[in-house]
Amino acid sequence: MEKALEAESISFQVSSSTTSIENRGADILLTMETPQSTRTLAGSHLLIATGRKPNTDDLGLDKAGIATNDKGYIHTNGRMETNVPGVWALGDVKGGPAFTHISYNDFQIVYANIFEGENLTIENRYLPYALFTDPQLGRVGITEQQARSSGKKFKMGTYPLTSVSRAIEKGETAGLMKIIVDATTDRILGASILSSEGGEIVQILGAMILAARPTPS
């Protein structure tokens, strides 16, 4: 992704911290300490992305005895039960992947468990996601890093978009496809497609991962 964006003249300055921001005429000047030196950038606009934190500090959770972690997310088990019987936490507030479809699936699981007598869990949940960047990043299953830390034997294949005829014809050769496969069963464990329409293409591999899973009883 970094390479693709750099090819469009976007530059990255990582491992740096901002020391000052000031207006000078029409410009905004941002000064930062980089690992090498002090650097000042001038620009017309400044977008600050600060991340998110859960709004749990004023809910009185302590009075109900509901446990949170050090970042304020409500602690739950795989059925999304908190430590207090009869109290559940769903969606972003329980931490983990913060997506609309995940919050909705949380609801489906809790509803099925409470009202339909199911015993569903979010453990090992199939998690697709897409970053709508250009090129898009579509991802399903586990990443290379997760495969490495799992200690499982796996095989990995990568294929640059510069070798894909369709990408060459469309003039959209930025990106890479990567597939992680279980070395014992040859089943797909995860895939990352960084390409034009990568968010759509990866769904095909997601369907293959799901098809190989046992049907929940």
Q: Which residues bind ligand FAD (CB under 6 A)?
A: 55, 59, 91-92, 98-101, 103
Q: Where are the alpha helices (DSSP H) in the chain?
A: 2-6, 61-64, 100-115, 144-150, 165-170, 198-211
Which residue, 92 or 194, has its beta carbon nearer to ligand FAD?
A: 92
Rounded to whole angstroms, how far apart are CA atoms 193 and 140? 9
Q: Closest residue (Cβ) to ligand FAD?
A: 91
Q: Which is nearer to ligand FAD, 137 or 147 (CB)?
A: 137
CB of 92 to ligand FAD, least distance (A): 4
Q: How far is the CB of 45 from ligand FAD (least distance, A)?
A: 17
Helix, strand, coil percentages for the chain (3-state, nearest 5): 25, 25, 45
In the complex, least distance from residue 106 CB atom to ligand FAD, rounded to whole angstroms = 7
Using CA atoms, how far apart are residues 112 and 85, in angstroms rounded to an integer? 17
In sequence order, what are the residues at sequence separation of 6 or more whose Cβ sits closer than 8 angstroms to the Cβ of residue 19? 31, 32, 33, 38
Q: Which is nearer to ligand FAD, 131 or 201 (CB)?
A: 131
Closer by beta carbon to ligand FAD, 94 or else 180 = 94
Q: Which is nearer to ligand FAD, 90 or 180 (CB)?
A: 90
Shortest Å, Cβ 118 to ligand FAD: 21
The values of phi and psi at residue 37, to 5°, are: -165, -175
CA 162 to CA 3: how far, in whole Å? Answer: 13
Q: Minimum CB separation from ligand FAD for residue 59, in Å?
A: 6
